[in-house]
Amino acid sequence: MVTYVVLTNFTDQGIRNAKDSPKRADAFKQMAKTFGVTVKNIFWTQGRYDIVTIVEAPDEASAMSLNLNLGALGNVRTESLRAFSAADMATVVGKMI
């Protein structure tokens, strides 16, 4: 599985309907399942980003398809960061010369 930290901002449409955000989050979790993606956690945040989500996807294409579908709804814009666990990072640095 591939882990992503997804940084999210409301669009103008999304902020106008912010009160529906928890319901949209539930719908997002269901949508994610159709792509084989598991939503590990969703946090509403203060500061530069409105929402931070942790997801696990079977591959990069599944994660990207999910984010494209989410963005097409018009409520949010996302920025995805590939995340590596400590075990993943140990493997990565183990390949360094």
Two tokens, residue 80: 């995805």
This model's pTM is above 0.95: no
pLDDT for position 15: 97
In this prediction, residue 9 carries a pLDDT of 98
Kind of pairing between the strands at 51-57 and 76-83 = unpaired
- What is the amino acid identity at position 91? T
> pLDDT for 54-83, tens place per residue?
999 999 999 999 999 999 999 999 999 999
Beta partners for residue 7, in sequence order: 52, 79
Per-residue pLDDT at 25: 97
Mapped onto helix, strand or coil, the DSSP state of residue 58 is: coil
Encode pLDDT of 3-34 as tens digits: 999 999 999 999 999 999 999 999 999 999 99
Q: What is the pLDDT of residue 85?
A: 95
Query: What would the DSSP string read from start to end of 14-75?
Result: HHHTGGGHHHHHHHHHHHHHHTT-EEEEEEE-SSS-SEEEEEEESSHHHHHHHHHHHHHTSS
Q: Of all helices (H) and strands (E), which one includes residue 2?
A: strand 2-10
Q: Quickly state the pLDDT bin for 47 (edges 50, 70, 90).
A: very high
